Chains A and B, each alone.
Chain A
């Protein structure tokens, strides 16, 4: 008998949400995020320190014997909802979820302990666009050293340790200082990409790459849905608030039926997205029906998050097109998220095989 899916939020999860939201309200305002995105230091490492060393949130997925919180995917999903609401420039998804899952697959106790405390940031050196199970570039291993060029690596500029899949089928740990990490100009400034060049970098084999990468990307895809939910929820809430205030033709714009219906449709999509996100987080936590739950949620989430951000921009009128209004942060993140860890189409294709709806 499988345990029934729990689609609600527990009291503990709501407590985590409240604590993270408070912190973000005080320390992650939109103006700051916009300014930081243009600087040489796009990540907010002081916010990261509060989230990890202060609140222990980097270790939610890590068992207590490795120094983690031994909580789970449902709690991490709630953290990601809040980080999505604030488009926070912290490497939570990449380090505390994706790299952590890869290390858990390899039982890499020492690195897990370092990541759990948030003292070090880990990044899986696989392109952000890669879907679970899809092919990706590897480095060449030669006598314990790595060579090669890997591109599109999210949050690599903030990483202390890189987890690199190599052509011998192994997953290797490389100190970021031993690689050349060059920022790329990214669509989403809050989750910047970089190129990693390895020129004989010393490396330590952690385990087999294939199962570790697959597991890491699946968790990344499944929990990205919660970030997309938070993002969509913020854009909807903020747009509704604005349309109640903004007047044209001597009426609040939000009273016009053409706009009300668009917002009601959007609300319904976000309500559906919440159910899909909770289902994916619960499936990851329980290890039940995980592949289908993640594929369904990712196939649904990206179009909704992008739609929500695009509607927010349009319904804010001219102000929505400006650099000073934060809606562009959300649009850029939503559009980048629609490619991250596999497009909706890639997840539909995966689903076709999982639920026996084969292509012609």
Chain B
């Protein structure tokens, strides 16, 4: 059998050549990441010249394993998750060649952090109701409005933005998708403090922000369709990780149970065992979904994984606070902080309990996801709509 450039053997050879030319021990981290991108080993399923080689997506694991063994630096994917998981696939599908070449490399290396300007105070689950306006002036768009729940906005260089460009058509049709420069005049980022005491998220105020038409993604008025690419990729990213048994939030609770017999009660025991079983079954469901994807038979289970993990995280973290008894009455630190990551494992039970409340809201509320399962998986009829054929400007607000 002959080796091809994009089969496992070819990718392994290419990875070793990269490592030989840029030994991780003596190469600057950023230089290494740039070289990896240029070698097409960043995301192997992307096209050549854009960090990939057009290889099957499943073969990324071959490259990652070789690099991990060699101690190569990674691009800190959790810190730049919005760029990787949402902006990049959208730019790849809808961007011009020039946009792809400008944005994808520094996005992947982490030199430029991205955020997402979608939700608004009046448009959350009903995202298409958004009211941020973009008005065309020559070769530019002038944007005014307010966005909310923006993770990483205080760190971001770029944002993906959806704004209303035509108020005279029904709401899904008058939206356009842009790339917004977060350093431009008129972009103001304010921390939004949460129930945990810290501020992961921001409010973003856009006042007379001028975006050149060359930073539009997709056609004018086609932004809702472009945004679906972003949102579908977001949900794939959530809940897709491979876990060992007790690998999720049940782990610290089980450890506490084992280490501290004085905390045990019969009621807590029953609840712990029930949740342990559910966590294990959810883990197996995720694993089954992964096996289906590898076998090229993607199942509809993906639509439900986020729902399952949100409920489990909330129930398990709630149990954990009770298990800790007197200690459960305490909290680690209420200081207003600005974490770069959501860190469930490094924090105390009270934090986990409070932060997990967001799991059923962020990235699509559980109620919206249940509608998606009911309509797209089970084929049940949609709710009757009163906004379908009404111009956005005529909708009651």
Contacts and interface: CB of A to CB of B under 8 A. Distances in A.
A268 B288 contact: no
Interface string B87-106: 00000000000000000000
A261 interface: yes
Contacts of B4: none
Query: Among A261, A272, A279, A351, which residue has the most Cβ atoms of chain B within 10 A?
Result: A272
Contacts of A359: 264, 266, 269
B142 interface: no
Contacts of B281: 272-273, 275-276, 296-297, 300
Nearest to B369: A264
B254 interface: yes
A352 B288 contact: no
B383 interface: yes
Query: Among B272, B282, B288, which residue has the most Cβ atoms of chain A within 10 A?
Result: B288
Nearest to B269: A359
Interface string B307-351: 110000000000000000000000000000000000000000000
Nearest to B257: A357
B379 interface: yes
B316 to A, nearest CB: 13
A352 B273 contact: yes
A224 to B, nearest CB: 16
A311 to B, nearest CB: 13
Interface in A246-272: 251-252, 254-255, 257, 260-261, 263-265, 267-268, 271-272
Given A264-B370, A267-B378, A359-B266, A348 B273 contact: yes
B381 A254 contact: yes
A348 B270 contact: yes
Contact of B371 (A5, A251, A260, A278): A260
B276 A351 contact: yes
Contact of A267 (B258, B276, B280, B373): B373
A42 to B, nearest CB: 33
B307 A268 contact: yes
A264 B373 contact: yes
Interface string A1-30: 000011110000000000000000000000
A299 interface: yes
A185 interface: no
B273 A351 contact: yes
A197 interface: no
Nearest to B282: A272
Interface residues of A, number: 41
B374 interface: yes
Contacts of A352: 269, 273
A272 B261 CA distance: 31
B140 interface: no
Given A8-B295, A352-B273, A275 B266 contact: no
B373 to A, nearest CB: 4
Interface string B365-391: 001001101110111111110000000
Given A265-B370, A359-B269, A272 B285 contact: yes
Interface string B245-260: 0000000001001100
A346 B265 CA distance: 18
A318 B375 CA distance: 25
Nearest to B378: A240
B287 interface: yes
B277 interface: yes
Contacts of B277: 296, 299-300, 348, 351
A136 interface: no
Contact of A7 (B254, B284, B367): B284
Contacts of B265: 360
B23 interface: no
Query: Among A273, A275, A358, which residue has the most Cβ atoms of chain B within 10 A?
Result: A275
Contact of A240 (B264, B287, B288, B379): B379
A260 B375 contact: yes
Contacts of A297: 281
Interface string B268-310: 0110111011101110110110011001010111001001100
Contact of A261 (B266, B370, B381): B370
A8 B257 CA distance: 34
A264 B374 contact: yes
Interface string A221-253: 000000000000000000010011000000110
B378 A264 contact: yes
B377 to A, nearest CB: 6
A65 interface: no
A175 to B, nearest CB: 42
Interface in B193-239: none
A54 to B, nearest CB: 30
A153 B133 CA distance: 73
A140 interface: no
Contacts of A260: 370-371, 374-375, 378, 380
Contacts of B382: 255
Contacts of B282: 272
A274 interface: yes
A356 interface: yes
A8 B287 CA distance: 10
A355 interface: yes
Contact of A271 (B261, B297, B301): B301
A268 B299 CA distance: 12
12 contacts: A5-B287, A244-B380, A260-B370, A260-B375, A267-B373, A274-B288, A275-B287, A275-B288, A351-B273, A356-B258, A358-B264, A360-B261
Given A244-B379, A254-B380, A271-B304, 10 more contacts: A255-B382, A255-B384, A265-B370, A268-B304, A272-B308, A273-B281, A299-B277, A351-B273, A357-B273, A358-B264
